Amino acid sequence: MIPVAAAAKTCGLLGYLALSGWVLREDLGRLLVGNVCALLDQVATTLGASGTPGPTTVALALGGLLVVNAAGYATLCCLLCRAVGLPGGQVGRGGG
Protein backbone atom coordinates (compact mmCIF):
# COMPACT_ATOMS: atom_id res chain seq x y z
CA MET A 1 0.00 0.00 0.00
CA ILE A 2 2.85 2.39 0.78
CA PRO A 3 4.41 2.30 -2.74
CA VAL A 4 1.04 3.01 -4.35
CA ALA A 5 0.35 5.88 -1.95
CA ALA A 6 3.86 7.26 -2.51
CA ALA A 7 3.40 7.14 -6.30
CA ALA A 8 0.03 8.90 -6.01
CA LYS A 9 1.50 11.58 -3.73
CA THR A 10 4.43 12.14 -6.10
CA CYS A 11 2.01 12.65 -8.99
CA GLY A 12 -0.04 14.95 -6.79
CA LEU A 13 3.03 17.01 -5.91
CA LEU A 14 3.90 17.44 -9.57
CA GLY A 15 0.29 18.36 -10.38
CA TYR A 16 0.21 20.85 -7.52
CA LEU A 17 3.43 22.40 -8.77
CA ALA A 18 2.07 22.70 -12.32
CA LEU A 19 -1.30 24.10 -11.23
CA SER A 20 0.25 26.57 -8.79
CA GLY A 21 2.68 27.75 -11.44
CA TRP A 22 -0.18 28.25 -13.89
CA VAL A 23 -2.28 30.19 -11.37
CA LEU A 24 0.64 32.35 -10.24
CA ARG A 25 1.93 32.73 -13.82
CA GLU A 26 5.39 31.67 -12.70
CA ASP A 27 7.65 28.89 -13.93
CA LEU A 28 7.86 27.00 -10.63
CA GLY A 29 9.40 23.98 -12.35
CA ARG A 30 12.39 26.06 -13.40
CA LEU A 31 12.65 27.46 -9.87
CA LEU A 32 12.59 23.94 -8.41
CA VAL A 33 15.26 22.70 -10.83
CA GLY A 34 17.39 25.76 -10.05
CA ASN A 35 17.17 25.04 -6.34
CA VAL A 36 18.08 21.38 -6.83
CA CYS A 37 21.07 22.47 -8.96
CA ALA A 38 22.18 24.78 -6.15
CA LEU A 39 21.79 21.97 -3.62
CA LEU A 40 23.85 19.57 -5.74
CA ASP A 41 26.46 22.27 -6.27
CA GLN A 42 26.77 22.75 -2.50
CA VAL A 43 27.05 18.99 -1.97
CA ALA A 44 29.74 18.77 -4.66
CA THR A 45 31.67 21.62 -3.03
CA THR A 46 31.43 19.92 0.35
CA LEU A 47 32.76 16.69 -1.16
CA GLY A 48 35.57 18.54 -2.94
CA ALA A 49 34.27 17.97 -6.47
CA SER A 50 34.10 20.68 -9.10
CA GLY A 51 31.83 21.42 -12.02
CA THR A 52 28.10 21.77 -12.38
CA PRO A 53 25.71 18.83 -12.21
CA GLY A 54 24.36 17.52 -15.49
CA PRO A 55 20.68 17.40 -16.41
CA THR A 56 20.47 13.66 -15.71
CA THR A 57 21.93 14.12 -12.24
CA VAL A 58 19.51 16.94 -11.50
CA ALA A 59 16.53 14.91 -12.73
CA LEU A 60 17.55 11.88 -10.68
CA ALA A 61 18.10 13.97 -7.56
CA LEU A 62 14.77 15.75 -7.98
CA GLY A 63 12.92 12.49 -8.55
CA GLY A 64 14.68 10.90 -5.58
CA LEU A 65 13.77 13.80 -3.30
CA LEU A 66 10.13 13.68 -4.39
CA VAL A 67 9.90 9.92 -3.90
CA VAL A 68 11.58 10.02 -0.48
CA ASN A 69 9.21 12.81 0.60
CA ALA A 70 6.14 10.93 -0.61
CA ALA A 71 7.25 7.56 0.81
CA GLY A 72 7.96 9.10 4.21
CA TYR A 73 4.56 10.77 4.25
CA ALA A 74 2.74 7.58 3.20
CA THR A 75 4.62 5.54 5.81
CA LEU A 76 3.71 7.98 8.58
CA CYS A 77 0.06 7.98 7.48
CA CYS A 78 0.01 4.17 7.48
CA LEU A 79 1.58 4.04 10.95
CA LEU A 80 -0.94 6.57 12.24
CA CYS A 81 -3.84 4.53 10.86
CA ARG A 82 -2.51 1.44 12.59
CA ALA A 83 -2.02 3.36 15.82
CA VAL A 84 -5.68 4.42 15.91
CA GLY A 85 -6.85 0.88 15.21
CA LEU A 86 -7.74 0.72 11.53
CA PRO A 87 -7.12 -2.83 10.27
CA GLY A 88 -3.85 -3.06 8.37
CA GLY A 89 -3.54 0.71 8.24
CA GLN A 90 -5.94 0.83 5.31
CA VAL A 91 -7.96 4.01 5.24
CA GLY A 92 -11.62 3.57 4.37
CA ARG A 93 -11.85 -0.19 4.85
CA GLY A 94 -13.55 -1.75 7.82
CA GLY A 95 -12.98 -0.17 11.18
CA GLY A 96 -16.66 0.34 12.02
Nearest-5° angle of CA 69, CA 75, CA 77? 105
The pTM score is: 0.75
pLDDT at 92 over 90: no
pLDDT digit string (tens) for 24-53?
Answer: 999 999 999 999 999 999 999 999 988 888
Q: Which whole-number Å values give the CA distances from 48 to 22, 37, 51, in the listed order?
A: 39, 16, 10
> Taking the mean position of all CA atoms in its chain, how far away is CA 78?
17
For residue 96, give the DSSP letter.
-
Distance CA 84, CA 69 (A): 23
Distance CA 5, CA 2 (A): 5
